Each structure stands twice: as C-alpha cells, then as structure tokens.
Amino acid sequence: MASVAIPLDDDFEDSEFIVPYDRLTEAGHRVTVIGTESGKALVGKRHQATVTVESAAGDVEPEDFDAVVIPGGYSPDHLRVDRDVVEFVRRAVESGMPVAAVCHGPQLLIEADVVAGRRMTSWPSVRTDLENAGAKWVDQVVEDANLITSRRPEDLQSFSDAILKRLEHAER
C-alpha cells in the first residue's frame, strides 16, 4: 500500500483532514502527518479533530512518500512561511507524485512556486492568488497532471476518490 504525507498545522479545516485521512487509512494506506515540529499537538479550527505531528518536514524526504494531501483551513497559510514544508511540497510536486490540495491548500502550492500554467481550483478567496501565480482557475474538482485540487468540504468525497484512484493506478 501507499505512503501518504499530510502537511498540517493548527486551525486546519477539520473535515478536510478527517475525510481524506479516514478514506486513505480505510483503503490500507499509511498516512503520516508532517509539520513544522515533530510531536506538536494540532487542533482543527472547528475543534472536531486533534492530531499530533509525526515528523517535521525537514526530517523526511518526499521520496519517502507516494502522495501528498494538503487540507485547507488556516493551516496552509501557517505552513507557507516554513521553508522546510514549502521545499518538501515543491519537491513532491516536481517528482510527479500525486499532490492533492483542498480549499485553502493551494496557498501552499503557490508558495512552492508550482502552479504556473496549471488548471486548478480552490476556495473562492484563493482564486486571485492562484491566477496571479499563473494558474488557470476553474470552478470544479480539477486533475491536472499530478495535481488534484478541490474547492470546499462538499467536494471531499470526489476529492478523496480522485486521490485513491491515483494511488491505485500507481500500485499497478
């Protein structure tokens, strides 16, 4: 089964972590929460989920994983100022592995400078940032090469389906 990294910090959108995490683990994949500091306890912005960072981004390599999933909320905005997290995400995208981001998650992709020329989506307030960074914004769940992007919690089932489908094809 695949190994998936989830970059996370405080104030993540609870459902955007819980739904993909549960779907991935139920499918037998190993999920590792990475962040700025190993052992740091994180709380979702709606206080429905609490999780502990298992590895600092600077202590792991993208090559140790088969995919990356970036939940939204305020977490991506916190993470985009951490050099190690940004570099981890940039290298993951450049490697060609599936990298999925929901809601505000694309903020981290913008900071990693990997969105120019890509079709993407996000929460509406991130649209202008994506367009200014060179992406073409569309209002639907989008798969563009190895990037999977989604708009909001209501998209989580199709977003998770797309991630699982990519991992299934990668295992063949």
DSSP string, 109-161: HHHTT--TT-EE---GGGHHHHHHTT-EE-SS-EEETTEEEE-SGGGHHHHHH
Contacts (Cβ under 8 Å, ≥6 apart) of 30: 1, 2, 3, 4
- Please indicate whether residue 103 is annotated as part of the active site: yes
Of these residues, 42, 53, 68, 103, which one is catalytic? 103
- Contact of 162 with 141, CB cutoff 8 Å: yes
3-state helix, strand, coil in the chain (%, to 5): 40, 25, 35
Instruction: Tell me the residue type at 29.
Output: H
Backbone angles phi, psi at 99, to 5 degrees: -130, 120
Residues carrying an active site annotation: 103
